[in-house]
Structure 1
């Protein structure tokens, strides 16, 4: 039995994105996101309901600052206590799984989609997609790009402006283009919040 373009896309196989089924699903997401992005900012529950209807999995505690963009929505799963700042873009042709307590800064792009390096195949319209996984308690800095097939481990911080092309382990600070581990998260991070500036919890 021949697979549909959608089935090939979900399976991580090369596919054509020009078919009617995928086009209609992308159009549906665009219509719903136009409502979300243009809604009265005080209508938080109504905005969240649009996202819950669009995503494959959500929880009760999530907040996404508009504007937000995605391809389909149903391939996105977010855990509890999710927050993203302005201008998050997720190309969710494959699964994007995001854990609990994840924070995403402005202008972050998460791309599961890719195109052939060979120019002839690319012009013919072939595409592929590989899943992305972001673990619990991750903080992703502004203007970060996460490329197809990447896994980011729990508790990790990705510095702003990073281009994540390979897996990043848990419990580290990583940054750069390409993104690389800078150091492990350690006890000093419980004492200093920025460079040599110390927390003072007694005054909080």
Structure 2
């Protein structure tokens, strides 16, 4: 399949914050983020958001189409304006038939998301709120490779990701700051004593 044929299948869009890109009520499709950010979330039984992940440049959503799953249980809302491409389920199957190597790449992304979801569930299994927040921060140090970290989402979204209220998250960040484990300003966090923070997780 030539590049021009692929481009004919893909819909290019520039989307602004607040735009709903996908939802359980919309026809399933593959979404590729070129620039900007998308918040992926579910609604619990009370209609409250549970943030699952934040998509950025190069991320893909909708790999379940690989398995013939034409339904979606998640919502995608644009957080930061940017350019995104979408591909219908039918056109996606056509593309896979001509570019089977894409299936392996998408399966890898699907596997990575599964690991991220498992990690999120491990956070939620920690009953102590301070330890839940601390564990998340230690993981961010490991993934970002430095002790001066940038939280990957807004504080209110991080709160729902960790199943906390924004007030509870702020309170526990302040408590860790009072213990001299970190300094925090908005989404910028400097871990001052990583060893002590890690030890605090097991006290």
TM-score by length of 2: 0.26
TM-score by length of 1: 0.26
Higher relative contact order (CA 8 A, sep 6+): 2
Greater share of helix: 2
